[in-house]
Amino acid sequence: MNARTPHERMQVWLSRLLIAGVWIAAVLCAAGIVLSLLAGNATPPRTPFAGVAPGLDSPMGVLRSAMRFEGPGVMAMGVLALVATPVLRVAFSLVLFVRERDRLYIGVTAVVLALLAIGLFTGLAE
């Protein structure tokens, strides 16, 4: 008999979400490395880091590059997936707390999600 409480089921779903997000990010980064090697980009530039590669400075640019199977774009998509994973966890937690009608945790989680969104969108605006 495997009777779990709603709280235990929620923890299982949240842990699965985190595990899936990390695996997706790892696979995308590894695929991006392979694509870069196949394209002949085996050696990194010898210049100091000068910022983000052209075209990879926005989520849409990353998506376009990844859709063209360009190594740096696929790697950047992996990094975006890694960053999005904890944000999705907070959003998923909010949904679960709403379903449980737990007002305290709904409020706290909503504030955390709002702060994450503010940080994300103000960072994208620069």
Q: Which of 113, 93, 103, 114 is nearest to 17 (CA)?
A: 93
Counting residues of the chain whose pLDDT is more than 90, the rounded percentage is: 37
23 or 59, higher pLDDT? 23
Full-model pTM: 0.76
Q: Which of 1, 85, 8, 70 is nearest to 38 (CA)?
A: 70
Q: What pLDDT, in 10s, does the model give residues 99-115?
A: 888 899 999 999 999 99
Q: What pLDDT, in 10s, does the model give residues 19-57?
A: 999 999 999 999 998 998 888 865 666 666 666 777 787
Q: Mean of the pLDDT values across residues 15-19?
A: 91
